[in-house]
Amino acid sequence: MAAKEENSALFPIFVLTMIALPLVPYTVFNLYYTFTKKAKDITCHCSVCFRSGKYRKSLFKRISNFSTYSNLTIVLLWVLMAILIFYINQFNTEIQIFEPFSILGLESGASDAEIKKAYRRLSILYHPDKNPDPEAHKYFVDFISKAYQALTDPISRENFEKYGHPDGRQGLRMGIALPQFLLNIDGASGGILLLGIVGVCIIFPLTVTVIYLSRSSKYTGNYVMHHTMYAYFHLMKPSLAPSKVIDAFIHAAEYMEIPVRRTDDEYLQKLFLLVRSELNLDLRNIRQEQAKFWKQHPALVKSELLMQAHLTRETAALSLSLHHDLKKMISLAPRLLEELMKMAIIPRTQQGHGWLRPAIGVVELSQSIIQAVPLSARKSIGASSEGYGPFLQLPHFSEGVVKKIARKKVRTFQDFRDMKQQERAELLAQTADFSAEESHDVEMVLDMMPAISIELTFETEGEEGIQEGDIVTMQAWITLRRGNGLIGALPHAPHFPYEKEESFWLLLADSMNDVWMSQKVNFMDEATAIIAASKAIQELKEGSGASTREINTAVKEAIDRVKSGSRLVMGKFQAPSEGNYNLTSYCLCDSWIGCDAKSNIRLKILKRSRAGTRGIATADEVPSLEDGADEEEEEGDDEYDDDYESEYSEDDEDTKGKDSKVATENGSAHLQGDDSSSDESKSD
């Protein structure tokens, strides 16, 4: 019986030990990392962002940021440890150690007469004939009688004084640190044990599996519904104009599930009058167009009106319920736009290429949603091919301010960025009556805006240039610079109620507006970028037969470039058939307007003249680059009209930047471009 009680007492100690072994070092490591890491402030500090309250560290937000699953699990485990420690401490104090002399109230080494005298005295107090209390009876039998017997028997007393136990020297005793009800499988305890085994081993895993399968059948890995992906795939067209991308975007099943209430009708009618100019209605048949618009599915009508209210910043006319619905739509927008982008660049043509025009439209829609800029503000106006949309992402700017500074021959956003800080402050003060604080806000946002440059390298084996069917290795270094020196940062977006990390899309397209290659790039996770770049460079150098020293040097250089603000994109592809190709590389930012990089280059593929195996081009293949200055361009009619280019994107003639630099040597070609469109390569 004592052994069983001891085993039960050891069970909480066993549980405490198993919890403390991983929990204590994990907690110490996290605390050390938290207090020693250098926290970088990557948010915007302008007065507009401060008033929005998005980055304000209130008590509720601090608790929300702390309330992650891992942190809550750690706290619960520490609470459980505290309860176990308290229970063990109380349990140990309640266990009375069998000490015969102490029980009889004697000192060690007392005589037989003193033992008998003490026994008689305690018998008067606890004997059942003298004291009817059941507790007294139990104490007399379990302690007093046993203590008297242990001390009156000479052998038992000698064993106790010598070995601490009446039975003499005790051997090693093994036990199981489990509670008593688990060891006793008779009666109700056996049923409880069986029920626990069935619940933990069968019912719980089965329940988790059913929930997971039911959810996975409805959502993709990016938590986007399969119905949304199906709709986006069929609504995406190669000639889809950027202004029409929003019509496909709002067909998301997540938006269709937002309830349409009768109380919303009045507010939606008022909202329609405010955003009617943004709805792509034919003004020549405005009545028929309005009737057609309202005949759509009510969820589509509501989704488009709410999204246009966000883009035009007309949210003051919304009710509380509509505000809640709009917030939900905006929270879903980033991952829906990412899936819509994938539907645009997914291989569609026979060559396995995607579509450039809708891809640019998706990125521009993402920029407009993050910055809350209407799509109509992106249209070309006068000498500005980019419209006044880029200016609206700056604090305190409006269409009226843009018109005022345009009179001072500041036609484009790039012209405004290229001005000196003092010149900008004087311009804003003179034309728009900006105060010093407002001008300071503008400078802070301009310092947050990224400047992107691209360095492309395409290499292949052989000394006769890049020939059709060659396997080419592409290496693209994308470098980001900011005026404030940060690499990864959250964009200035006071009208977007959630924190949004910047992402960039690297696209390589031909003159037929087909996307040959695409890759998403992120500058926030430096550790992952270092691992990816190191592995890619190491594999590339090992494949070329470089020595260990050369490999280590190349890997170190790649790591230094990543730490300085560059990201590496690599891939292998097969050169297409013989001919000249006009390619354009794009690096599009999904959060900022006017921060995209674009470079043009003329490429040539030679006819196959050396031994090799040609294969069928895959979706990820990109043609090789080579200086085709001495050859004529391949002639042919474009598949689409001249207005196929994004009506919100920059035209080649209206952009400024460095010329693309192409150098071909031993079958390799290099391209460098900055954050604006560059001229085509010219013959030497």
Q: Given this model, what pLDDT does residue 181 score? A: 53
Q: What is the Cα gyration radius of the chain?
A: 38
Quick one: pLDDT band at residue 166, thresholds 50, 70, 90?
Answer: low
Q: Given this model, what pLDDT does residue 635 score? A: 38
> Treating both helix axes as pointing N-terminal to C-terminal, what angle do 320-345 and 226-235 enclose, rounded to 10 degrees?
60
Quick one: pLDDT band at residue 363, thresholds 50, 70, 90?
Answer: very high
Helix (H, G, I), strand (E, B) or coil at 111: coil
Percentage above 90 pLDDT, the chain: 28
Please say if the pLDDT value at position 40 is more than 60: yes
Please say if the pLDDT value at position 39 is more than 80: no
- Which of 252-261, 350-359, 382-391, 534-543 is the least confident region? 382-391
CB atoms within 10 A of CB 201: 10
Please say if the pLDDT value at position 122 is more than 60: yes
Q: Between these two residues, 474 and 374, which has the higher pLDDT value? A: 374
Q: Between these two residues, 429 and 109, which has the higher pLDDT value? A: 429
CA distance 234 to 248: 9
Helix (H) or strand (E) holding 279: none
On average, the pLDDT of the chain sits at 78
pTM as predicted? 0.71
Quick one: pLDDT band at residue 671, thresholds 50, 70, 90?
Answer: low
- Length reported for the chain: 684
Q: Given this model, what pLDDT does residue 156 score? A: 72
Please say if the pLDDT value at position 492 is more than 80: yes
Q: Given this model, what pLDDT does residue 44 score? A: 85
Q: Which of 324-338, 452-466, 601-615 has the largest mean confidence?
A: 324-338
Quick one: pLDDT band at residue 154, thresholds 50, 70, 90?
Answer: confident
Q: Tell me how many degrees the CA angle 309-315-320 measures, rounded to the nearest 5.
A: 120
What's the average model confidence in pLDDT over 510-515? Answer: 87
Please say if the pLDDT value at position 652 is more than 50: no
What's the average model confidence in pLDDT over 367-374? Answer: 93
Q: Given this model, what pLDDT does residue 100 score? A: 78
Q: Given this model, what pLDDT does residue 232 score? A: 94
Contact 248, 343 (CB under 8 A): no
Q: Given this model, what pLDDT does residue 611 score? A: 59
Q: Given this model, what pLDDT does residue 679 score? A: 36
Q: Given this model, what pLDDT does residue 463 score? A: 55
Non-local (6+) Cβ contacts of 322 within 8 A are 264, 267, 268, 306
How many Å separate Cα 541 from the centre of its chain? 31
Quick one: pLDDT band at residue 151, thresholds 50, 70, 90?
Answer: confident
CA atoms within 13 A on the CB side of 668: 11
Please say if the pLDDT value at position 620 is more than 70: no
Q: Which of 10-14, 99-103, 266-270 has the largest mean confidence?
A: 266-270
Q: Given this model, what pLDDT does residue 231 score? A: 93
CA distance 18 to 678: 63
Helix (H, G, I), strand (E, B) or coil at 248: helix
Q: Between these two residues, 132 and 621, which has the higher pLDDT value? A: 132
CA distance 362 to 246: 8
Q: Given this model, what pLDDT does residue 642 score? A: 38
Q: Report in angstroms the alpha-carbon separations of 319 from 264, 325, 373.
A: 8, 10, 21
What's the average model confidence in pLDDT over 331-354? Answer: 90
Please say if the pLDDT value at position 200 is more than 80: no
What's the average model confidence in pLDDT over 325-339? Answer: 94
Please say if the pLDDT value at position 62 is more than 60: no
Please say if the pLDDT value at position 613 is more than 50: no
> Between the CA atoms of 114, 116, 122 and 126, what dihedral angle is there, to the nearest 10 degrees?
170
Contact 680, 582 (CB under 8 A): yes
Q: Given this model, what pLDDT does residue 382 score? A: 63
- Which of 4-8, 212-216, 284-288, 360-364 is the least confident region? 4-8
Q: Given this model, what pLDDT does residue 188 score? A: 55
Q: Between these two residues, 682 and 155, which has the higher pLDDT value? A: 155
- Quick one: 90 exposed, middle or buried, by C-beta within 10 A (0-12, 13-18, 19+)? exposed
Q: Given this model, what pLDDT does residue 284 score? A: 82
Residues 229-248 as b or e (16 or more Cβ within 10 Å = b): bebbeebbebebbbbbbbeb
Please say if the pLDDT value at position 325 is more than 90: yes
